C-alpha cells in the first residue's frame, strides 16, 4: 500500500491519460491483486470513459422490474435500479394492492424549469424592479437567443419573476424545456441573461438553475379498498386506520417525515437511475418541496375515505426522456422499451405513482408486522451471497437462516459450512 506515502505525484494529470494507463497506475499504487485488476478492466466501457473524468471502470448495480403498476388505466412494467434488497419487492407489493382497486390516477401537469440570475449591491430595489419589468421582453429574447431550438420546440424562456432574497435580488427565468431535463439549456440561458445584465451595469453574483423545481409538480393518487390491505391476522380497516395515523405522524414529526420520504424516494430514485435521469436533482427538489412550509413533512398523505384508504402524493419531478446520458446509454434505451414511456410527462406520472406504491408497501408493513419481517427475507439472501453461497446454495441457506433466532455474518458463515457438510 502506497496510499499513505507523502508523494502523490502520480495523481497529477491523471485525467490526461488513456483509461488503460490510469488503471495501471491505480493498480500499482494500491497493489491491486490480479483478479482485482481484471475486474476493473472487464467492467470498463467506452461510454463510461466518455462521460466522466478520471474514469476507471463501470460500477454495476442490480436492475429489476416493478410489475403491475397501473397508472391512468395503463399497466406498466417499470425497470428500476437499486442496491437495496427490499425495494423492488415492496414496490411490486404496493403496486399490486393499488392495482386491485383500480390503480393510480395522475393528471397531466405543468412542467417548467427555473433559472436564477442573482444580483448583488442593489442600491435601489424599486428602481431595479421597474427596470426589469420594462425590459422583460429583451431579457426573454436574450435568453431564447442563447438556445433558439428550445423555442422552436414550443419551450424556451416564458417570463421572469423578481424575487428579493435580501441582501440579493433573484431574477428568476421561467423556462420550458420540452422532453429534456433541461439543466444545460437553463444554465446557458441564465448565463446569457447574466452577461446582458452585466452589460447594463448590474452586479451579478451568479447564474444557475434552481433545483427547487416547484414549477414541475406532479401529483398521483390511489384509493385502496380495505379488503386489499388486510393481513392474515389483521382486518383491512384496522390496517388502513394505522396507515392513516402513520401518515399523520409524517406531517407533524420531521424525524418520521425524513424516513417516510426516504421510502418514497427508494422507488423514485431507482426509476430515475434506470431512466438515465439526474436522481440527485430529483432528491434535492423533493426535499426542498417537503420542507417548503418551514417544517419537513411527508410528501404523501393517506386518509380513510368510506371503505377505502385514499393516498395522495405531490412532488417536483422535472424529469426528461431525452438529453443527458439518456440517449447514450443503451441500457437506458432498453429500459424505455420495457416501460413503454413516451414522454417526460408520462415518466413523471409513473414516477409519482411508483413513489406512492413504495410508500403504501412501507406503511402497510409498519402498520402490521413491522419492517424487519419483509426486510429480513431479502437480507438473508444478501447475507447468503456475502458469505459465499453459490446460486444453488442461496435458497437452501435462506431457508435455514429463517429458522434461526438471530442472524449475522458469522452465523450465516457457520450455517453455510454446516449446509456443505450435510450435503457431502
Ligand atoms: C427503508 O429503506 C424505507 C422505510 O424505512 C420507509 C418508511 O419507514 O416509511 C421502510
Please write the tens of the pLDDT for every residue from 160-184. Answer: 999 999 999 999 999 999 998 899 9
Question: CATH classification of 63-106+216-369, choosing from 3.90.770.10, 3.40.50.800, 1.10.3720.10, 3.40.50.300?
Answer: 3.90.770.10
Please write the tens of the pLDDT for every residue from 256-289. Answer: 999 999 999 999 999 999 999 999 999 999 999 9
Catalytic site residue 84? yes
CA 263 to ligand 1 center in whole angstroms: 4
d(CA 218, CA 285): 12
d(CA 297, CA 261): 8
Q: For ligand 1, what atom is nearest to the CA of residue 263?
A: 6
Catalytic residue among 2, 262, 337, 342: 262
Please write the tens of the pLDDT for every residue from 41-56. Answer: 999 999 999 999 999 9
What the block records as the C-alpha cell of 133 is 419589468
The mean pLDDT value for 348-375 works out to 92
Q: Model confidence at 381, in pLDDT bands (50, 70, 90)? A: confident
Mean pLDDT of the chain: 95
Give the per-residue pLDDT at 14.
96
Catalytic site residue 269? no
Give the per-residue pLDDT at 376.
73
- 362 close to ligand 1 (CB < 6 Angstrom): yes
In the sheet that 300-305 helps form, which strands lie side by side, from edge to edge?
Answer: 74-81, 63-71, 104-105, 217-225, 308-316, 300-305
With 80 as the cut, is the pLDDT of residue 418 above it?
A: yes
Q: For ligand 1, what atom is nearest to the CA of residue 90?
A: 10
With 80 as the cut, is the pLDDT of residue 58 above it?
A: yes
Give the per-residue pLDDT at 324.
78
Give the per-residue pLDDT at 5.
55
CA 362 to ligand 1 center in whole angstroms: 6
- 259 close to ligand 1 (CB < 6 Angstrom): yes
CA 257 to ligand 1 center in whole angstroms: 10
The 3-state DSSP composition of the chain as helix, strand, coil percent (nearest 5) reads 50, 20, 30
- 263 close to ligand 1 (CB < 6 Angstrom): yes
Give the per-residue pLDDT at 244.
98
Residues of the chain with CATH 3.90.770.10: 63-106+216-369
Give the per-residue pLDDT at 6.
65
Cβ proximity of 225 and 236 under 8 Å: yes
Residue identifier of the C-alpha nearest atom 1 of ligand 1 = 263
Give the per-residue pLDDT at 3.
52
Catalytic residue among 84, 253, 303, 393: 84
| Ligand 1 pocket, mutate which of 247, 262, 296 (most atoms under 8 A from CB) | 262
Cβ proximity of 2 and 30 under 8 Å: yes
Residues of the chain with CATH 1.10.8.660: 374-422
Catalytic residue among 172, 179, 191, 278: 278
Residue identifier of the C-alpha nearest atom 9 of ligand 1 = 260
CA 266 to ligand 1 center in whole angstroms: 8
Q: For ligand 1, what atom is nearest to the CA of residue 365?
A: 10
What secondary structure does DSSP assign to 51-89, as a single string? HSTT---PPP--EEEEEEEEETTEEEEEEEE-S-TTHHH
- 262 close to ligand 1 (CB < 6 Angstrom): yes
Choose the weakest-confidence range: 116-130, 143-157, 222-236. Answer: 143-157
The CATH-assigned architecture of domain 113-210 is 2-Layer Sandwich (3.30)
Residue of 402 and 358 predicted with greater confidence:
358
What the block records as the C-alpha cell of 377 is 427475507
Q: What dihedral angle (degrees, nearest 10) is formed by the CA atoms of 356, 362, 366, 367? A: 40
Give the per-residue pLDDT at 266.
98
Question: Among residues 174, 148, 183, 211, which one has the least CA distance to residue 276?
Answer: 183
Residues of the chain with CATH 3.30.70.420: 113-210
Q: For ligand 1, what atom is nearest to the CA of residue 260?
A: 9
Give the per-residue pLDDT at 369.
81
Give the per-residue pLDDT at 4.
55
Please write the tens of the pLDDT for every residue from 85-95. Answer: 899 999 999 99
With 80 as the cut, is the pLDDT of residue 19 above it?
A: yes
Three-state DSSP at 374 gives helix
Residue 309 host element (H or E): strand 308-316
Question: Among residues 244, 340, 345, which one has the least CA distance to residue 298?
Answer: 244
Three-state DSSP at 185 gives helix
What secondary structure does DSSP assign to 86-144, as a single string? THHHHHHHHHHHHHHTT-EE-------EEEEEEEE--S-HHHHHHHHHHTHHHHHHHHH
Total residue count of the chain as it appears in this document: 424
Q: Model confidence at 105, in pLDDT bands (50, 70, 90)? A: very high
Domain 374-422 belongs to what topology?
Helicase, Ruva Protein; domain 3 (1.10.8)
Residue identifier of the C-alpha nearest atom 3 of ligand 1 = 263
Give the per-residue pLDDT at 1.
47
Amino acid at each position: 500500500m502506497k496510499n499513505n506515502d507523502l508523494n502523490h505525484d502520480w495523481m497529477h494529470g491523471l485525467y490526461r491519460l488513456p483509461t488503460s494507463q490510469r488503471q495501471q497506475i491505480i493498480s500499482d499504487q494500491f497493489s491491486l491483486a490480479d483478479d482485482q485488476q481484471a475486474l476493473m478492466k472487464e467492467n470498463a466501457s467506452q461510454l463510461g470513459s466518455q462521460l466522466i473524468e478520471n474514469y476507471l471502470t463501470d460500477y454495476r448495480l442490480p436492475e429489476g422490474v416493478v410489475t403491475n403498476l397501473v397508472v391512468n388505466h395503463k399497466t406498466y412494467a417499470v425497470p428500476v435500479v437499486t442496491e437495496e434488497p427490499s425495494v423492488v419487492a415492496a414496490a411490486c407489493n404496493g403496486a399490486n394492492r393499488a392495482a386491485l382497486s383500480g390503480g393510480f390516477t395522475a393528471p397531466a401537469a405543468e412542467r417548467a424549469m427555473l433559472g436564477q440570475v442573482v444580483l448583488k449591491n442593489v442600491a435601489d430595489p424599486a428602481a431595479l424592479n421597474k427596470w426589469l419589468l420594462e425590459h422583460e421582453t429583451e431579457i426573454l429574447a436574450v435568453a431564447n437567443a442563447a438556445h433558439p431550438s428550445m423555442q422552436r420546440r414550443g419551450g424556451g424562456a416564458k417570463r421572469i419573476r423578481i424575487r428579493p432574497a435580501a441582501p440579493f435580488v433573484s431574477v428568476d427565468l421561467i423556462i420550458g424545456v420540452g422532453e429534456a431535463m433541461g439543466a444545460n439549456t437553463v444554465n446557458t440561458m441564465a448565463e446569457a441573461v447574466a452577461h446582458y445584465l452585466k452589460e447594463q451595469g448590474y452586479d451579478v453574483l451568479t447564474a444557475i438553475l434552481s433545483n427547487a423545481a416547484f414549477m414541475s409538480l406532479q401529483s398521483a393518487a390511489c384509493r385502496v379498498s380495505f379488503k386489499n390491505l388486510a393481513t392474515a391476522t389483521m382486518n383491512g380497516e384496522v390496517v388502513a386506520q394505522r396507515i392513516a395515523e402513520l401518515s399523520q405522524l409524517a406531517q407533524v414529526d420531521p424525524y418520521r417525515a425524513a424516513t417516510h420520504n426516504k421510502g418514497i424516494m427508494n422507488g423514485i430514485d431507482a426509476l430515475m437511475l434506470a431512466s438515465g435521469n439526474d436522481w440527485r436533482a430529483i432528491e434535492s427538489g423533493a426535499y426542498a418541496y417537503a420542507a417548503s412550509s418551514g417544517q419537513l413533512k411527508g410528501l404523501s398523505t393517506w386518509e380513510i375515505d368510506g371503505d377505502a384508504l385514499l393516498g395522495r402524493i405531490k412532488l417536483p419531478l422535472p424529469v426528461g426522456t431525452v438529453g443527458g446520458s439518456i440517449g447514450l446509454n443503451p441500457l437506458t434505451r432498453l429500459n424505455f422499451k420495457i416501460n413503454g414511456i413516451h414522454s417526460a410527462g408520462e415518466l413523471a406520472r409513473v414516477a409519482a405513482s411508483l413513489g406512492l406504491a413504495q410508500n403504501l408497501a412501507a406503511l402497510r408493513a409498519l402498520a402490521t408486522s413491522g419492517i424487519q419481517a419483509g426486510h429480513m427475507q431479502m437480507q438473508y439472501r444478501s447475507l447468503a451471497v456475502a458469505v459465499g453461497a453459490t446460486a444453488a446454495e442461496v435458497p437452501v441457506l435462506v431457508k435455514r437462516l429463517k429458522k434461526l433466532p438471530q442472524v449475522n455474518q458469522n452465523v450465516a458463515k457457520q450455517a453455510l459450512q454446516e449446509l456443505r457438510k450435510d450435503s457431502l
